[in-house]
Amino acid sequence: MIDTMRLRLRPWWDDDFAHMAEIHADPEMMELLGGPMDRAAPDAWIARQIVHYGREGFCFWAVEACGGVAPLIGAVGLLRMQDGMPMAGGIQAGWRIGRKFWGNGYATEAARAALADGFDQIGASEIVAFTVPHNHPSRAVMEKLGMRHNPADDFDHPRIAEGSPLRRHVLYRLTAPGA
């Protein structure tokens, strides 16, 4: 587990499946992630996080707000980039915070903790994050984290169909402190 002033990043619990299904069913939340998902998709997503954790020792963690705000507000963490992706084998940071919790700085706070864990515990020399160009809130989080964007790194996501407005992605990088 990773604790911040207001949040806890923790392993996945059985209760989390229903909460993440609710988050993934929200059309506004999922607008830039391919659209709302039926119940099976977020369940499979959490299952992949659990497998990734077993293999790598890190994943997108379940995130809860301390003080009884909510049992689960979303997911934040790190993943090993899959083959076929730009930066394959590298470490990706990401976040999915439920819409009703937007505007509280939770994504930035949790991501900052996940990045510190990635550099300190995992030993990553660089961590990347990416999103579609018009996802301004996510890009703002990347910039608050000190990540840097170079347009030469932008790419077409290989798992998104050609012609989709979600295919083009911007890539941000952050190198380990002292590197």
pTM of the full predicted structure?
0.91
pLDDT tens for 75-127 read 999 999 988 888 888 999 999 999 889 999 999 999 999 999 999 999 999 99
Q: Provide the residue ranges of all domains of the chain, joining segments of one domain with +.
A: 2-175
The three-state (H, E, C) secondary structure of the chain, written as one string: CEECCCEEEECCCCCHHHHHHHHHCCHHHHHHHCCCCCCHHHHHHHHHHHHHHHHHCCCEEEEEECCCCEEEEEEEEEEECCCCCCCCCCEEEEEEECHHHCCCCHHHHHHHHHHHHHHHHHCCCEEEEEECCCCHHHHHHHHHCCCEECHHHCEECCCCCCCCCCCEEEEEEEECCCC
Q: What is the pLDDT of residues 93-106, one digit of tens each?
A: 999 999 889 999 99
**pLDDT tens across 7-46, in order?**
999 999 988 998 898 888 887 766 667 666 777 888 999 9
In CATH terms, is domain 2-175 a member of 3.40.630.30? yes
